[in-house]
A and B are shown apart, each in its own frame.
Chain A
Amino acid sequence: MIEINNDNITKWSEIGERGTIGVAVADVAKDDANIVVIAADMAKALKDFSALYPDKIFDSGIAEQNMMGVAAGLALYGKIVFAFNFASFITMRSCEQVRDDVAYQNLNVKIIGSQSGYAHGSLGTTHHCIEDMGIFRTMPNMKIISPADGVELIKATREAASIEGPVYIRITGRTNHPIVYSEDFDFHIGKAIQLKNGNDITLIGTGSMVYQALKAAEILEEKGISARVIDMHTIKPLDEDVVMKAAEETKLVVTVEEHNIIGGLGTAVAEVIAEKGDETKLVRMGINDEYVHFASYHTLLERGGLTSGNIADKVISCVGQF
């Protein structure tokens, strides 16, 4: 297994999650000869894997439906398959293949969706992906992980390879991805990580928004608001206990995600709080069910209210109300 040390953490931050995924898949393949990779004209993005295992990486061409079917066939045979492409295409162009061939048959296909959310920035809405968690949450057997940084992606990939059945790993952010985890830590699918304690309110983030939530908590601390911060890296199965604990112990829960506020983290948390009958106030921050015009990544986050300053402002305005 690759060493999680300062040098690597710095490097993974520089290349971002999208660059780290090749390292992550090559890392798990060292321990399991059964691992293969398929991509749709994207195999070069996994050069860390292909350099070591050129016979185990396949390319379907620009044909995502076929790619997912071939991935299912490789898994039917008995391979552990990592299927890689841009999130927008791998989740939606091959959606029915994911449902029928992968999820329905409960196969060992690990779906990697790169540059999800707004990561493709100015390339426009065709390349953005704000729907993927909502779509995949409705598929039985599917697990969904959205890592907060490169280290967590390495850990998530190891977990995904070690469990039976389909997993979707949602990659967010760009190069120079901020570091959330500066050292090794315990990672388990379905078990959220509390990054900071707090008693007034709780910020639950996922993917790229975990770092923003942490920075927002620092701003709030200066204003006298004690914010708990949770890295909800697994969207399905959701860590319901952590959600209910936050609902019981703090007076406001705020979810933050680089995804439509419909169908993703916020919806999943809302389902838990509503079904348990708790009266805690919930605010969902994310993309407000709209297709935005293109702009650079960081501008889109700023305009969408998905930065630490915006999150802190939102919390302050809500705390006044509750």
Chain B
Amino acid sequence: MVEKGIISSIEEKTRVMRKLAIDAAVNSGKRGISSHIGPGFSIMEIMATLYFHVLKHNPENPRWEDRDRVILSKGHGVLGLYSALALAGYFSTSLLENYDPDNTELAGHPCMNLDYGIEASTGSLGHGLPMAVGYSIAAKLDKKKFTIYCIVGDGECDEGSIWEAFMTARKYNLDNLVVIIDRNNLQASGTCSEIMDLNDISMKLQAFGWKTREIDGHNIEEIINSLDQSNRPTGHPYAVIAHTVKGKGVSIFENNVSWHSAKLYADNAKIAYEELGF
């Protein structure tokens, strides 16, 4: 059982993170720039739980050698990453509240910036997981105790390099690597079932020698339990398949493929702020 206070505290962080993401997106919209809203909102609870409960990290010392690492392989989920990093104190929330795409370190996909807590540059899909695997191999070689968390999209699993990396992680028994798959069943132009049916990811991963667990990716308690050290396997890489809703938290975004990437203007932002209680 996870204490109710912990859950409600993370839920509140998630609410503020969604607000910060809206701030950034609406500032982009003013400049005619689209934002990946759906893919960021589906991972808000996952990112909040990582940064405000699970991770061993220190925003005051972002280059701390023994910190846990997060690599956002689905780089288009960047609003979920930036809002967590800002709220955790890696950089000022004003960088999102007053987001200026012409004067920012925060690109539309993560650009490695260790002082900002951004561990790797991603954006082209199928790249982050192989990097996380390499990172985990190096950490294991040096007998480091930290964990590498890698967030992979379900659409991203269309990429062959993801499955190549799944095999490599098993070969080297990377139990210092935790993969969280954002199973929102929507990709850029339609449902995963329509575009490229992944069927049962857990069974596929198990056939690849992984241990897996399926959770509700918006349920904080389930996320915490799935990432708890005592529930993680030894000697195997481990994947949490987090069933999520793309665009979660704002009715007009939810499960709507057109909000995968779109310009957010004041009218829709107003709806989002109201629904989030701002």
On A, residues with C-beta under 8 Å from B are 36, 38, 55-56, 58, 60-61, 63, 65-66, 68-79, 96-97, 100-101, 104-105
Q: Are B123 and A105 in contact (CB under 8 A)?
A: no
Q: Are B168 and A71 in contact (CB under 8 A)?
A: no
Q: How far is the CB of B92 from chain A (nearest CB, A)?
A: 24
Select A76's contact among B120, B123, B129, B164, beta carbons within 8 Å. Answer: B120
- Give the docked Cα–Cα distance between A36 and B141 (Å): 10
User: Which residue among B133, B134, B138, B168 has the maximum number of chain A CB atoms within 10 Å of its CB?
Assistant: B134
User: Which residue among B123, B132, B137, B167 has the maximum number of chain A CB atoms within 10 Å of its CB?
Assistant: B137
Chain B residues with CB under 8 A of A63: 161, 164, 167-168
Q: Is B165's beta carbon under 8 Å from chain A?
A: yes
Query: Which range contains the number of B residues in contact with the other chain?
Result: 20 to 34
- Give the docked Cα–Cα distance between A316 and B118 (Å): 59
Chain B residues with CB under 8 A of A97: 127, 130, 161
Q: How far is the CB of B69 from chain A (nearest CB, A)?
A: 9
Select A56's contact among B112, B120, B132, B141, beta carbons within 8 Å. Answer: B141
**Other A-B pairs, 11, CB within 8 Å; known A56-B141, A73-B120:** A36-B141, A61-B171, A65-B126, A73-B137, A73-B138, A77-B134, A79-B138, A97-B130, A97-B161, A100-B121, A100-B124
Q: Are B168 and A61 in contact (CB under 8 A)?
A: yes
Chain B residues with CB under 8 A of A36: 138, 141
Select B172's contact among A58, A96, A104, beta carbons within 8 Å. Answer: A58
Q: Is B136's beta carbon under 8 Å from chain A?
A: yes
- Give the docked Cα–Cα distance between A63 and B165 (Å): 9
Q: Are B119 and A60 in contact (CB under 8 A)?
A: no
Chain B residues with CB under 8 A of A69: 126-127, 129-131, 133-134, 161, 165
Q: Are B121 and A105 in contact (CB under 8 A)?
A: yes
Q: How far is the CB of B129 from chain A (nearest CB, A)?
A: 7
Q: Is B139's beta carbon under 8 Å from chain A?
A: yes
Q: Are A100 and B123 in contact (CB under 8 A)?
A: yes
Chain B residues with CB under 8 A of A38: 134
Q: Are A78 and B138 in contact (CB under 8 A)?
A: yes
Chain A residues with CB under 8 A of B132: 73
Residue of B nearest to A70 (CB): B134
Q: Are B127 and A60 in contact (CB under 8 A)?
A: no
Chain B residues with CB under 8 A of A77: 134-135, 138-139, 142
- Give the docked Cα–Cα distance between A66 and B121 (Å): 16
